[in-house]
Amino acid sequence: MSNEIQIAKLGEKVLRKKAKKVKDIKSEEIKNIVSLMIETLKKSNGVGLAAPQIFISKQIMIISSKPNERYPNAPLLEDLVLINPKIIKTSKGKNKDWEGCLSIPGIRAKVPRYNKIVVKYKTLENEKKTIVFKDFIARIFQHEYDHLIGHVYIDRVETNKDIISEEIYRSLI
Q: In a 3-state reduction of DSSP, which class is residue 163?
A: strand
The answer to whether the annotation marks 134 as part of a ligand binding site is: no
Q: How far is CA 154 from CA 50, 80, 145, 148, in A?
A: 16, 24, 14, 15
The answer to whether the annotation marks 151 as part of a ligand binding site is: no
The verdict on whether 158 is a catalytic residue reads: no
Active-site choice (144, 158, 166, 167): 144
The 10 Å Cβ neighbour count of residue 136 is 17
Q: Which residues contact 167 (CB under 8 A, 6 or more apart)?
A: none
What residue numbers does the annotated binding site cover? 101, 143, 147
What residue numbers does the annotated binding site for Fe cation cover? 101, 143, 147
Residues with a catalytic annotation lie at 144
